[in-house]
Amino acid sequence: MVGQLRIYTINKGMMESWLKLFHELIAPKTLEFGMGIQSAWTDEENERFIWIRTYEDMEDLKKKEEEFYGSEWWKENMPTIRGHLARRQIEVIKPSA
């Protein structure tokens, strides 16, 4: 298994809107495309949204991301999604054991 630690800085005043968007639209679509969601958090300042997306291996990650980001759904929804984000940090992570 591999994961992506995804840390998004949310535009000021948009966290409530982001959480609604994530839970009602992004998370279900992510799962529909076969990616896993291990967990999701907000930081204490309510400025950053942190989540872990999971895949079987690096080949699976590349394949599913190509499908997801190449989809008509992404093309239609990307401006709204990215409009909430001031910054994105994405790190590939692996289990320690």
| 97 residues of the chain, pLDDT tens digit each | 999 999 999 999 999 999 999 999 999 999 999 999 999 999 999 999 999 999 999 999 999 999 999 999 999 999 999 999 999 999 999 999 8
Within 13 Å, how many C-alpha atoms sit on residue 22's CB side? Answer: 20
Domains of the chain, earliest start first? 2-93 (3.30.70.100)
Residue 74: which of 44, 32, 14, 19 has the closest Cα? 32
Q: Report the pLDDT value the prediction gives residue 94, as an integer from 0 to 100.
A: 96
Q: What is the pLDDT of residue 97?
A: 83
Alpha helices in 1-97 (DSSP H): 15-21, 27-32, 58-69, 72-82
List the structure tokens of 91.
């790190």
Residue 41 forms beta bridges with which residues?
Answer: 50
* Tokens matching residue 94: 């692996």
DSSP 3-state helix, strand, coil percentages of the chain (rounded to 5)? 40, 35, 25
